[in-house]
Chains A and B, each alone.
Chain A
């Protein structure tokens, strides 16, 4: 059952990704991207990362994609149907080859490893004890509290930078 679901989500994600690249209008690209992100949230659930799946839907497919949509609407690009694909058969062929190599590498990397290593058992135990959010939170607020605080500073800098850049009369 999990395997069938995984292949379903994988097909949706790849289809969405191809749609992002091939779609003519920016709005179409964006909607394909939301599809791909939702499908990837599904694969996160199948890999037992429930909190990340929720964050993926809320932050990525929700907030960030709406930001992109605002910008597309604001710049009035919704009817910008001009074809802007560069390259041709050669580009597709070269990326097919690179993609094949990357896929084979990933498969080798995965098949030397295990179906479920020691990390999986540790995560399952932590999730049984603290819940899906608590398993991440206990690590985040103890061992990794300094990177977490630095992330806060990064977000503040990003807010100020975005305001300064997008303001009229710079």
Chain B
């Protein structure tokens, strides 16, 4: 069960990375980042079966940070949308050299 959970976690993380690199819609990229965080959470839970309850505690903290990150990130997306009228990241090049 632990091995299968680790494999599942690796697969989900790779799908999430793929989404971040391939999609251009800022909100969907953000959803894929959440998917990566969840994949890591799954491997923490699997390792907690080997090394003790600290793994589950760390998942708790990761979820809190993910909630904070979602709130701030969506606020940034809203304020960018006000300027550019789009959420396609190809049109945000203000910080490009």
Interface residue ranges, A against B (CB under 8 Å): 2-3, 6-7, 10, 13-14, 17-18, 20-21, 26, 29-30, 33, 36-37, 40, 43-44, 46-49, 51-52, 55-56, 59-60, 63-64, 67-68, 71-72, 74-75, 77, 80, 84-87, 91, 95, 98-99, 102-103, 105-107, 109-111, 113-120, 122-123, 126, 135-136, 139-140, 144, 147, 151, 154-155, 157-159, 161-163, 165-166, 170
- When each residue 66-95 of chain B gets 1 if its CB lies under 8 Å from chain A and 0 otherwise, what string results? 111111101111110100000110000000
Judging by beta carbons under 8 Å apart, are B51 and A49 in contact?
A: no
- 26 inter-chain pairs at a CB distance below 8 angstroms, sorted by A residue, are A13-B8, A14-B12, A20-B32, A29-B31, A36-B35, A47-B49, A55-B60, A64-B66, A72-B27, A86-B21, A91-B21, A91-B22, A99-B10, A99-B15, A102-B14, A105-B10, A106-B10, A107-B6, A107-B7, A113-B50, A123-B48, A123-B56, A158-B68, A158-B69, A165-B72, A166-B74
CB of B22 within 8 A of CB of A140, answer no
A162 with B71, Cβ < 8 A, contacts A17-B12, A114-B50, A122-B52 known: yes
Question: For chain B residues 13-50, which have a beta carbon within 8 Å of chain A?
Answer: 13-19, 21-25, 27-28, 30-32, 34-35, 38, 41-43, 45-50
| Pairwise interchain contact B67-A14, C-beta atoms closer than 8 A | no
The complex places the Cα of A3 from the Cα of B27 at a distance, in Å, of 35
The 10 closest A-B pairs by CB, nearest first: A110-B3, A158-B68, A117-B50, A165-B75, A106-B6, A102-B10, A21-B19, A166-B75, A119-B52, A99-B14
Contacts of A13 in B (CB 8 A): 8, 12
Contact between A135 and B53 (Cβ–Cβ < 8 Å)? Answer: yes
CB-CB nearest in chain A for B66: A64
What 6 additional pairs, Cβ within 8 angstroms, besides A43-B42, A106-B3, A136-B57? Answer: A26-B28, A99-B11, A99-B15, A103-B10, A103-B11, A107-B7
From A2, A10, A20, A44, contact of B19 by CB (8 A): A20
The listed residue (A47, A72, A84, A117) touching B45 by CB distance below 8 A is: A47
